[in-house]
Amino acid sequence: MLKKRAVIYLFLLLLCGCARVVKQDLAHFAALPELEGFQESDRVLILAPHPDDEAIACAGVIQQALKSGAKVKIVYLTNGDHNELAFIVYEKRLTVRQGEFVHMGTVRQQEAIKAMKFLGLTEKDLVFLGYPDYGTFTIFSQYWQTQKPFRDLLTRISSVPYKDNPSYQAPYVGESILSDLEKQLQEYQPNKIFVSHPADVNVDHKSLYLFLQVALSDLAGKIPALKVYPYLVHCVNWPIPRHYHPELALNPPDKFLFSQIHWLRLGLSFAELDKKYQAIMFYRSQTQSSAFYLFAFARENELFGDYPAVDLKTQTLSADKDVSYLDSGQMLEEQEGLTRVDPETLAYDKIQVSFARNSKYFLIRLEKPKSLNRNFRVMVYLFGYSKHTNFSAMPKIRIITAGNKLKVFNARKQSLDSGTVLDFGKNALVLKVPLDFLGDPDYLLCALKGYHGNLPVDAVGFRKIDLK
C-alpha cells in the first residue's frame, strides 16, 4: 500500500500543472513556522467535535507525539449522530427512528476506536461524551440555569443516550458539558491541547472552542500552564483542490492569509501521511459520501493557529465620535495610549469591523459600502466571562439588526430594556452595548455574521476581547 501511494505521489509531482502548483504552494508555505516538536514529558489532549475530526486534523500530531513517548488522549464532544445524509448513503436506507440515530452514533464511535488503535492509541485513551451533534452551540448560547434541557429536533433526545459513555444520561445543558470538560482537564493535566477553531463554520466546532475557553478560565491556577493549538476543518471552498493530493501542502484559507492568526505547520513524512490516509479510511460511514472532502486533508502537513486576544483599554472620551476603535483593516502603531491591532475583517465588499470601549459601553463599528445600504443586516454574539460570576449566570447575548432596527436576546428571551443603542449611518453601523448588561465581564467572546438581505455575506470568527 505504501509503495503504491508513493508511486501516485511521484506521478502527480511529474505532472506539469501540479508541479507548478506545488512550487507555488511550497514557496508560499515556507514562511509558516513549524509547530514545536513533542517531548516525552508532553501530555497531549485532542478535543474533537465529532469522530473523524481527530483523524483529518491531527493524525500526524498523534503519530509524532506517540513516537516521542508522549501521552495522548482524545475527548469527543459528540458521537456525530446527526449526519443523516451520510448514513443514508452508508446504510442505504432512511433513518427516522430515535434508536437509529443512536445506532449512527455507535457506528461512528466504533470507527473512531478502530482508527485510533491503528494510529497507536488504546480504547482507554478515548473518551466519548456523547452530546448532541449539531446542538452544542445552541446549548452554549441558550441552555444554562434551566430545568428544560435542549431537545434535538431530529433525534428527539434531551440527554446523553450512550450507556457506555461517562456522560450517560447527562442532560443537554451547558453545565453538563462544561463540568465534563473541566473534569477531563483536571484529571489528565495536559500541557498541549489541540481543539477545533473559533472561525470554523461548523457550530459544534465553534462551541467546543468556546467551552474550552470557559473551562480554562474556571481552572486558572488549578491546572498547569498549557498551550492551545486550534485546527481548522470547515471553511467555505477550502481546502482546494478536493480529493487526495499528498503532493500539496495544506495552506491557510485565502480568507485568513492576512489575518493576525499565528499559523503553524506540522510537516509529515510520507509514511505518516500514508498512515493518516488509512486512518481516515476507517470512517466508512463518512467516506462513502464525503471521501472527496475528508481525503483533501491528507496532505504533507497539518495546520494550526489561533487569534491573539484583543486588548481594549478604557477610554475616558465621552463623545462617541471621539472614541478610538481598534481598526480591523491593518496593523497600526500605538496612538493616544491605545494599542491598535487587527481583530479580523468582514472581507466581502470591503466591510470591516472594529471594536472599542469606554467606561459604560462596549462598541462595535462595521464600515460598509453604500451598495448594501439598508439591506445590510448583522447578527452579533457576545458571551462574557467574569471571575466574580459563575459562567452559567452570565448573560448570553445575541443581537440582530435589520436596517436601523435591532432585537436583543439574552439566551432564549428577548431583552426589551437592554440599553443597547444602534447608530445606522450611510457608511457605518455602530452598536453600543452597556457593559453592565453584559455582566461587567473580564473578557468577551465575540463573533459576527453579516447579511445582505437574507444572503449571508461573511462572518468574523469568535475573538477573545480583554476588557480589564
The predicted pLDDT at position 406 comes to 94
pLDDT of amino acid 21: 42
Least confident of 124-133, 227-236, 314-323, 338-347: 338-347
Higher pLDDT, 336 or 468: 468
Give percent above pLDDT 70 in the chain.
81
Give the model's confidence band at 91: pLDDT under 50 very low, under 70 low, under 90 confident, else very high: low
**pLDDT given for residue 5 in this prediction:** 52
Question: Quick check: 297 and 251 in contact, CB under 8 A?
Answer: no
- In single-letter form, the type of residue at position 52 comes to D
Tell me the HSE value of 459 on the side-chain side, using a 13 A CA sphere.
20
Q: Is the pLDDT of residue 120 over 90?
A: yes
Residue ranges matching CATH 2.60.40 in the chain: 310-466
State the pLDDT at residue 36.
96
pLDDT at 415 over 80: yes
pLDDT band for position 193 (cuts 50, 70, 90): very high
pLDDT value of position 85? 62
> Which residue intervals of 256-403 are DSSP H helices?
270-281, 284-294
pLDDT at 78 (0 to 100): 97
> pLDDT tens digits, residue range 268-291?
999 999 999 999 999 999 888 888
DSSP state letter for 255: G
Give 454's pLDDT tier (boundaries 50, 70, 90). confident
Give the C-alpha distances (Å, rounded to integers) separating 1 from 8, 145, 274, 370, 397.
11, 53, 9, 57, 52
Angstrom distance (rounded) from CA 227 to CA 391: 22
For the ranges 36-45, 155-164, 396-405, the one whose mean pLDDT is highest: 36-45
Query: Using CA atoms, how far apart are residues 132 and 134, in angstroms rounded to an integer?
Result: 6
Instruction: Tell me the per-residue pLDDT of 422-449, one tens digit each, with 9 for 90 and over.
Output: 998 777 889 999 999 999 999 999 999 8
Cβ pair 238, 256 in contact under 8 A: no
List pLDDT tens digits, range 166-188.
999 999 999 999 999 999 999 99
Q: What's the average model confidence in pLDDT over 405-429?
A: 92
97 pLDDT band, cuts 50/70/90, is low
DSSP letters of 101-124?
HHHHHHHHHHHHHHHHHHHT--GG
Burial group, residue 17, by CB count within 10 angstroms (0-12, 13-18, 19+)? exposed
The CA dihedral of 373, 326, 261, 428, to the nearest 10 degrees, is 0
Q: For the chain, what is the largest distance between any 2 Cα atoms, rounded to a whole number of angstroms? A: 69
Beta bridge partners of 302: 266
pLDDT at residue 323, rounded to an integer: 56
Give CATH 3.40.50.10320 domain extents, the chain: 2-304
Report strand pairing: 43-48 vs 192-196: parallel
Average pLDDT over residues 113-130: 98
Average pLDDT value for the chain: 85
What is 2-304's CATH topology? Rossmann fold (3.40.50)
Strand partners, 445: 383, 464
Distance CA 464, CA 211 (A): 13
Res 18 pLDDT > 50: no
**Fold of domain 310-466:** Immunoglobulin-like (2.60.40)
Candidates 234, 225, 227; CA nearest to 197 is 234
Write down the pLDDT at residue 381. 98
139 — pLDDT class (breaks 50, 70, 90): very high
pTM across the whole model:
0.88
Integer Cα distance of 385 and 217 in angstroms:
8
Cα torsion 414, 419, 420, 426 to 10°: value is: 120
User: Distance between CA atoms of 73 and 347, rounded to whole angstroms?
Assistant: 37
What pLDDT is stored for residue 28 in this prediction?
46
The pairing of strands 126-131 and 71-78 is: parallel
User: What number is the average pLDDT over the span 304-311?
Assistant: 92
Q: Name the strands in the sheet holding 443-452, side by side, starting at the edge strand that comes first in the sequence.
A: 310-311, 455-466, 443-452, 376-385, 396-402, 405-410, 413-414
* pLDDT value of residue 445: 98
Quick one: pLDDT at residue 14?
A: 43
At residue 73's C-alpha, the angle toward residues 70 and 74, to 5°, is 140
pLDDT tops 70 at residue 207: yes
161/130 Cα distance (integer angstroms): 7
